[in-house]
Amino acid sequence: MLSDGLQQSFVPRLSAQARDELALFQQALSGITLGPAPDKRITPFSKGDWGLDSGALYNLLKARGQPEDPRAVFIWHNSAPPRVQLFMWLLLHRRIQCRTVVLTKHIVQDAICEICHEAEENPDHIIKGCTLGRQIWQLLNCPSVLSTEITSFYAISPTGGVPPHDFSAFIALVCWQLWKARNAAIFRQEFMNANQLLASCKATAEHWRARMKPSKRQIADAWCQLFEMARQGLGGS
Protein backbone atom coordinates (compact mmCIF):
# COMPACT_ATOMS: atom_id res chain seq x y z
CA MET A 1 0.00 0.00 0.00
CA LEU A 2 2.83 2.37 0.78
CA SER A 3 4.50 1.78 -2.57
CA ASP A 4 1.46 1.37 -4.84
CA GLY A 5 -1.01 3.77 -3.21
CA LEU A 6 -4.50 3.24 -1.87
CA GLN A 7 -6.64 4.64 -4.70
CA GLN A 8 -6.77 1.39 -6.66
CA SER A 9 -8.29 -0.40 -3.67
CA PHE A 10 -11.51 1.65 -3.66
CA VAL A 11 -14.63 1.43 -5.80
CA PRO A 12 -15.30 4.35 -8.17
CA ARG A 13 -17.10 7.51 -7.11
CA LEU A 14 -15.75 8.25 -3.67
CA SER A 15 -17.87 10.65 -1.68
CA ALA A 16 -16.51 14.07 -0.75
CA GLN A 17 -16.12 12.88 2.85
CA ALA A 18 -14.25 9.77 1.72
CA ARG A 19 -11.89 11.84 -0.45
CA ASP A 20 -11.11 14.11 2.51
CA GLU A 21 -10.51 11.11 4.78
CA LEU A 22 -8.28 9.50 2.15
CA ALA A 23 -6.20 12.65 1.88
CA LEU A 24 -5.71 12.75 5.66
CA PHE A 25 -4.81 9.08 5.73
CA GLN A 26 -2.29 9.46 2.91
CA GLN A 27 -0.73 12.36 4.79
CA ALA A 28 -0.40 10.15 7.88
CA LEU A 29 1.14 7.35 5.80
CA SER A 30 3.74 9.69 4.35
CA GLY A 31 5.59 9.67 7.68
CA ILE A 32 5.74 5.88 7.99
CA THR A 33 8.89 3.90 7.28
CA LEU A 34 8.71 0.12 7.19
CA GLY A 35 11.33 -1.80 9.15
CA PRO A 36 12.71 -5.36 8.86
CA ALA A 37 11.07 -6.64 12.08
CA PRO A 38 8.05 -8.96 11.70
CA ASP A 39 4.59 -7.55 12.29
CA LYS A 40 3.16 -7.80 15.78
CA ARG A 41 -0.54 -8.62 15.87
CA ILE A 42 -2.62 -8.30 19.02
CA THR A 43 -6.13 -9.77 18.92
CA PRO A 44 -8.38 -11.85 21.19
CA PHE A 45 -8.76 -14.18 18.19
CA SER A 46 -5.06 -14.99 17.99
CA LYS A 47 -4.09 -18.62 17.43
CA GLY A 48 -0.40 -18.70 18.15
CA ASP A 49 2.17 -16.25 16.86
CA TRP A 50 0.95 -16.21 13.25
CA GLY A 51 -2.49 -17.81 13.33
CA LEU A 52 -5.98 -16.37 13.44
CA ASP A 53 -8.80 -18.40 14.99
CA SER A 54 -11.28 -18.11 12.12
CA GLY A 55 -13.64 -20.51 13.89
CA ALA A 56 -14.00 -18.11 16.82
CA LEU A 57 -14.63 -15.23 14.43
CA TYR A 58 -17.28 -17.23 12.60
CA ASN A 59 -19.01 -18.17 15.86
CA LEU A 60 -18.99 -14.52 16.92
CA LEU A 61 -20.45 -13.52 13.57
CA LYS A 62 -23.27 -16.00 14.02
CA ALA A 63 -23.93 -15.12 17.66
CA ARG A 64 -27.63 -14.60 17.88
CA GLY A 65 -28.46 -13.63 21.45
CA GLN A 66 -31.70 -15.18 22.60
CA PRO A 67 -32.02 -18.64 21.03
CA GLU A 68 -35.77 -18.25 20.60
CA ASP A 69 -35.41 -15.05 18.56
CA PRO A 70 -37.20 -15.87 15.27
CA ARG A 71 -35.15 -13.28 13.39
CA ALA A 72 -31.95 -15.10 14.31
CA VAL A 73 -33.36 -18.41 13.12
CA PHE A 74 -34.52 -16.80 9.86
CA ILE A 75 -31.13 -15.21 9.18
CA TRP A 76 -28.60 -17.77 10.36
CA HIS A 77 -30.27 -21.20 10.24
CA ASN A 78 -30.39 -21.89 6.52
CA SER A 79 -28.26 -22.92 3.55
CA ALA A 80 -27.30 -19.42 2.42
CA PRO A 81 -23.54 -18.64 2.37
CA PRO A 82 -22.21 -16.69 5.38
CA ARG A 83 -21.80 -13.43 3.47
CA VAL A 84 -25.43 -13.60 2.33
CA GLN A 85 -26.52 -14.34 5.89
CA LEU A 86 -24.59 -11.28 7.05
CA PHE A 87 -26.26 -9.22 4.33
CA MET A 88 -29.68 -10.41 5.55
CA TRP A 89 -28.75 -9.42 9.10
CA LEU A 90 -27.93 -5.93 7.87
CA LEU A 91 -31.06 -5.84 5.73
CA LEU A 92 -33.47 -6.82 8.49
CA HIS A 93 -31.84 -4.24 10.75
CA ARG A 94 -32.06 -1.60 7.96
CA ARG A 95 -28.30 -1.10 7.93
CA ILE A 96 -27.41 -1.76 4.31
CA GLN A 97 -25.74 1.20 2.61
CA CYS A 98 -28.79 2.57 0.81
CA ARG A 99 -29.31 6.28 0.15
CA THR A 100 -31.42 6.94 3.27
CA VAL A 101 -28.53 5.58 5.35
CA VAL A 102 -25.71 7.40 3.57
CA LEU A 103 -27.77 10.62 3.59
CA THR A 104 -27.50 10.65 7.38
CA LYS A 105 -23.71 10.52 6.92
CA HIS A 106 -23.83 13.54 4.56
CA ILE A 107 -22.41 11.49 1.66
CA VAL A 108 -25.29 12.26 -0.75
CA GLN A 109 -27.53 15.30 -1.13
CA ASP A 110 -30.87 13.45 -1.15
CA ALA A 111 -32.30 9.95 -0.73
CA ILE A 112 -34.24 9.65 -4.00
CA CYS A 113 -33.72 6.32 -5.79
CA GLU A 114 -31.31 6.75 -8.70
CA ILE A 115 -32.99 3.96 -10.67
CA CYS A 116 -36.72 4.75 -10.62
CA HIS A 117 -36.62 8.34 -9.25
CA GLU A 118 -40.02 7.66 -7.69
CA ALA A 119 -39.30 7.38 -3.95
CA GLU A 120 -36.59 7.41 -1.33
CA GLU A 121 -34.17 4.52 -1.57
CA ASN A 122 -34.52 2.70 1.74
CA PRO A 123 -34.10 -1.07 2.30
CA ASP A 124 -37.79 -1.78 1.64
CA HIS A 125 -37.68 0.17 -1.60
CA ILE A 126 -34.65 -1.70 -2.94
CA ILE A 127 -36.05 -5.15 -2.21
CA LYS A 128 -39.75 -4.71 -2.98
CA GLY A 129 -40.60 -1.11 -3.82
CA CYS A 130 -38.50 -0.32 -6.87
CA THR A 131 -39.74 -1.44 -10.27
CA LEU A 132 -37.52 -4.52 -10.60
CA GLY A 133 -38.16 -5.77 -7.06
CA ARG A 134 -41.94 -5.49 -7.40
CA GLN A 135 -41.88 -7.34 -10.70
CA ILE A 136 -39.67 -10.16 -9.43
CA TRP A 137 -41.81 -10.97 -6.39
CA GLN A 138 -44.96 -10.83 -8.51
CA LEU A 139 -43.48 -13.23 -11.06
CA LEU A 140 -42.45 -15.56 -8.23
CA ASN A 141 -46.02 -15.44 -6.87
CA CYS A 142 -44.86 -14.15 -3.47
CA PRO A 143 -47.33 -11.33 -2.70
CA SER A 144 -46.72 -11.69 1.04
CA VAL A 145 -43.20 -10.31 0.51
CA LEU A 146 -44.63 -7.19 -1.09
CA SER A 147 -47.00 -6.59 1.80
CA THR A 148 -44.48 -7.23 4.60
CA GLU A 149 -41.92 -4.79 5.98
CA ILE A 150 -38.28 -5.81 5.76
CA THR A 151 -37.97 -6.07 9.53
CA SER A 152 -40.77 -8.68 9.58
CA PHE A 153 -39.54 -10.90 6.74
CA TYR A 154 -38.89 -13.63 9.30
CA ALA A 155 -42.68 -13.99 9.77
CA ILE A 156 -43.48 -14.68 6.09
CA SER A 157 -44.93 -18.11 5.37
CA PRO A 158 -43.83 -20.06 2.27
CA THR A 159 -45.89 -19.14 -0.80
CA GLY A 160 -45.80 -19.59 -4.54
CA GLY A 161 -44.86 -23.26 -4.38
CA VAL A 162 -41.53 -22.55 -2.67
CA PRO A 163 -40.46 -25.53 -0.50
CA PRO A 164 -41.11 -24.68 3.17
CA HIS A 165 -37.74 -26.06 4.26
CA ASP A 166 -35.01 -23.44 3.78
CA PHE A 167 -37.62 -20.88 2.71
CA SER A 168 -35.51 -18.21 4.42
CA ALA A 169 -32.57 -19.12 2.15
CA PHE A 170 -34.82 -18.67 -0.90
CA ILE A 171 -35.81 -15.20 0.33
CA ALA A 172 -32.16 -14.41 1.03
CA LEU A 173 -31.11 -15.52 -2.45
CA VAL A 174 -33.60 -13.23 -4.20
CA CYS A 175 -32.84 -10.29 -1.88
CA TRP A 176 -29.11 -10.78 -2.46
CA GLN A 177 -29.56 -10.73 -6.24
CA LEU A 178 -31.74 -7.61 -6.07
CA TRP A 179 -29.05 -5.90 -3.99
CA LYS A 180 -26.32 -6.90 -6.46
CA ALA A 181 -28.47 -5.67 -9.37
CA ARG A 182 -28.96 -2.36 -7.60
CA ASN A 183 -25.20 -1.96 -7.06
CA ALA A 184 -24.47 -2.86 -10.69
CA ALA A 185 -26.88 -0.17 -11.85
CA ILE A 186 -25.60 2.51 -9.45
CA PHE A 187 -21.86 1.95 -9.68
CA ARG A 188 -21.40 0.47 -13.17
CA GLN A 189 -24.53 1.64 -15.02
CA GLU A 190 -25.38 -2.00 -15.79
CA PHE A 191 -29.16 -2.30 -15.69
CA MET A 192 -30.82 -5.72 -15.48
CA ASN A 193 -34.35 -6.59 -16.53
CA ALA A 194 -36.54 -9.17 -14.78
CA ASN A 195 -35.56 -11.97 -17.18
CA GLN A 196 -31.86 -11.40 -16.55
CA LEU A 197 -32.27 -11.21 -12.80
CA LEU A 198 -34.31 -14.43 -12.68
CA ALA A 199 -31.61 -16.13 -14.76
CA SER A 200 -29.02 -14.86 -12.26
CA CYS A 201 -31.14 -16.21 -9.38
CA LYS A 202 -31.30 -19.60 -11.08
CA ALA A 203 -27.53 -19.68 -11.65
CA THR A 204 -26.94 -18.74 -8.01
CA ALA A 205 -29.30 -21.50 -6.84
CA GLU A 206 -27.30 -23.99 -8.90
CA HIS A 207 -24.09 -22.81 -7.21
CA TRP A 208 -25.64 -23.04 -3.76
CA ARG A 209 -26.87 -26.56 -4.57
CA ALA A 210 -23.27 -27.75 -4.76
CA ARG A 211 -22.62 -26.73 -1.16
CA MET A 212 -25.83 -28.21 0.23
CA LYS A 213 -26.10 -31.61 1.83
CA PRO A 214 -27.18 -34.27 -0.68
CA SER A 215 -30.48 -34.65 1.17
CA LYS A 216 -31.27 -30.97 0.59
CA ARG A 217 -30.27 -30.58 -3.03
CA GLN A 218 -33.78 -31.21 -4.29
CA ILE A 219 -34.71 -27.92 -2.60
CA ALA A 220 -32.32 -26.02 -4.86
CA ASP A 221 -33.68 -27.97 -7.82
CA ALA A 222 -37.18 -26.74 -6.92
CA TRP A 223 -35.89 -23.17 -6.70
CA CYS A 224 -34.35 -23.46 -10.16
CA GLN A 225 -37.64 -24.72 -11.54
CA LEU A 226 -39.52 -21.81 -9.96
CA PHE A 227 -37.08 -19.27 -11.39
CA GLU A 228 -37.36 -20.85 -14.83
CA MET A 229 -41.17 -20.88 -14.67
CA ALA A 230 -41.10 -17.18 -13.75
CA ARG A 231 -38.84 -16.53 -16.75
CA GLN A 232 -41.20 -18.43 -19.01
CA GLY A 233 -43.95 -16.12 -17.79
CA LEU A 234 -41.93 -13.34 -19.40
CA GLY A 235 -41.43 -15.32 -22.58
CA GLY A 236 -37.87 -16.25 -21.60
CA SER A 237 -36.05 -19.30 -22.89
**Tell me: the pLDDT tens digits for 143-153?**
999 999 999 99
pLDDT score recorded for residue 36? 86
Residues 13, 85, single domain; the answer is no
Tens-digit pLDDT profile for residues 183-214: 999 999 999 999 999 999 999 999 999 989 99
Residues 113, 215, single domain; the answer is yes
Residues 168, 227, single domain; the answer is yes
Alpha-carbon gap, residue 1 to 224, rounded angstroms: 43
- 57 in a domain, yes or no? no
Alpha-carbon gap, residue 82 to 5, rounded angstroms: 31
Alpha-carbon gap, residue 71 to 123, rounded angstroms: 17
Residues 76, 187, single domain; the answer is yes
Tens-digit pLDDT profile for residues 72-107: 889 999 999 999 999 999 999 999 999 999 999 888
- 42 in a domain, yes or no? no
- 109 in a domain, yes or no? yes
Q: Which of 16-20, 66-70, 166-170, 210-214 has the lowest mean pLDDT?
A: 66-70
Residues 27, 140, single domain; the answer is no
Q: What is the extent of the structural domain holding 3? A: 1-37
pLDDT score recorded for residue 2? 76
- Residue 181 identity: A
Determine the distance from the C-alpha atom of residue 111 to the mean position of all C-alpha atoms in its chain, rounded to a whole number.
20
Residues 122, 181, single domain; the answer is yes
Residues 22, 82, single domain; the answer is no
